[in-house]
Chain A
Amino acid sequence: MLYAILCYNVEDEVFAWSKDHEADVMAKLGKVQERYAAAGKLGPVARLMPTSAATTLRKGDKPLVLDGPFAETKEQLLGFYVVDCADLEEVLDFARELGVANPGGAYEIRPLLMMNPGSLPA
């Protein structure tokens, strides 16, 4: 089954990481991802720019373009994974490992209703 793992954290803190800390976290996350990728369980992985770079289109008769993220939250959506796991327990294991590599914040796990792999090159 396909799941999305939505990564939330305080962007003020994440985008103030030192270069060394950032490299360290990315290396550790890379190690966790490697194993799942090798097992054919890892789909797209994305890291989002800070919410200050976000634009929101509010749909309607006259769609409204708003600067900023859709929702003001204490912790912001900063990235996501798509994974193919047998069950919730397996996704939680993956998320726990990611959490050890990158503590702080939260992962929201959302089963996918459908996924179109799209046509972007990797």
Chain B
Amino acid sequence: MSDLAWIDAALTAARPQAVGALLRYFRKLDAAEEAFQEACLRALKSWPKNGPPRDPAAWLIMVGRNAAIDDVRRTKRLQALPDEDAISDLDDVETPLAERLDGADYRDDILRLLFVCCHPDLPDTQQIALALRVVSGLTVKQIARAFLVGETAMEQRITRAKARIAAAGTSFETPGPIERAERLAAVAAMLYLVFNEGYSASAPGEARGALSEEAIRLARLLLRLFPAEPEIMGLLALFLLQHARTAARFDASGAIVLLEAQDRAHWNAGMIAEGLALLDKAMRHARPGAYQIQAAIAALHARAARAADTDWGQIALLYASLERLQPSPVVTLNRAVAVSKTGGAEQAFVLIEPLAAPLDNYFHYHGLKGALLLQLGRAGEARTAFNRAIALAGSPAEAAHIRQHLDRLSEPAAE
């Protein structure tokens, strides 16, 4: 790796911890970001000359903090602090700071930094954009590309989000166990949004796809800070098991390939193994949660060598648990899919009947309804449902999938 690439990797890795600590010092997000920016500029000058510091995050925190204090002193015409070259051999200065950082502080610093991005007043897209800017350090341009909007629009969106959280205020007290758990849950939900934003990329190589990898990186960081939290293990496992399918999710022409048609040889075995290992660890705690259940469902798909080997009975049970924990029409619909796969078309149809109103504009609802009606021998109604599904399809692959059913319906033998 070249100097620049190495420094870039180190700055990215150190960013959440450094900006988190600077936020605690300055109590203002903008000030923390500016101080970090200044520290990065100085690192680019100093590190190639003096070699990498032993603890890049501690170096950046100290230099960032001093630069800001320096700034204040300069405007007050006081004597400036020594420049960072003098402290770049950090053996003396860095050690006590690094030791302090090793304590519980830095864990709460990073959690706080992530948490300010998930303020409940902020709409999902603003939470994601803010986290990518503040925690991940993506440029506004990169974020704008991922969201397919102009740079100016994204700049405004982020500025507005920052103004909102500044107005809302942030707690800098060390959080108690209950507050910490609440923050952790909010941050997990925000990372889930970031991951899904990436997962919803509709073409391979689309800029948005990189967001899934960023969510994985941040979930790993979070799990390292809270190593005994089964839901965070579940969250990371879920990300890894889903992301493992990336290479098989698009065909040569860039169209989405549905799960049951994917070439499982193209699934990433390393990610699946890590996801299964994490889920295994999580289950030991016997404290089930929504992410663990979803990861367990993804794991059953990952474990099936062929689509036909999928353990749908177990998946139906897991969706039933998820339904109890987090009732939602979409979860019920997914349970109905699993039930239908084990041969219970009638039972599945009973499950989805109450979903007609809440899921009237949902492609998958009408697709499943059509398939179930077909199995129950109600071809006319099935055709209506399939036509509605095609009208709501989000991708050509989805529409093509439904059209296959319709074509079969049109064959004389089927009538």
Listed in ascending order, the chain A residues whose CB lies under 8 Å from chain B are 10, 12-13, 15-17, 21, 49-53, 55, 65-68, 72, 74, 103-104
Contact = CB atoms under 8 A, between A and B. Distances in A.
Interface in B1-18: 1, 6, 9-10, 12-13
B201 to A, nearest CB: 16
Given A12-B220, A53-B277, A53-B278, 9 more contacts: A13-B10, A16-B12, A16-B13, A17-B9, A49-B273, A52-B233, A52-B236, A104-B1, A104-B6
Contacts of B9: 13, 16-17
The residue in A15, A51, A67, A103 that gathers the most chain B C-beta atoms within 10 A of its C-beta is A67
Q: Which 5 A-B pairs have the closest CB atoms?
A: A68-B227, A12-B13, A52-B223, A67-B227, A67-B228
Dominant SS among interface residues on chain B: helix
Contacts of A17: 9
A100 B12 CA distance: 23
A10 B13 contact: yes
A49 B224 CA distance: 13
A86 to B, nearest CB: 31
Nearest to B274: A49
A51 B220 CA distance: 9
Interface residues of B, number: 24
Nearest to B232: A52
Contacts of B228: 66-68
A51 B281 CA distance: 12
A17 B6 CA distance: 11
A74 B54 CA distance: 9
Nearest to A49: B274
Interface string B1-42: 100001001101100000000000000000000000000000
Given A52-B227, A74-B55, A65 B284 contact: yes
B13 A13 contact: yes
Contacts of B221: 12
B217 interface: yes
A67 B233 CA distance: 10
A101 to B, nearest CB: 11
20 contacts: A12-B13, A12-B217, A12-B221, A13-B10, A16-B12, A16-B217, A17-B9, A51-B224, A52-B220, A52-B223, A52-B224, A52-B227, A52-B236, A52-B278, A53-B281, A67-B227, A67-B233, A72-B102, A74-B54, A103-B6
A78 B178 CA distance: 34
B406 to A, nearest CB: 39
Contacts of A103: 1, 6
Contacts of A55: 281
Nearest to A53: B277
Nearest to B223: A52
A52 B9 CA distance: 20
Contacts of B278: 52-53
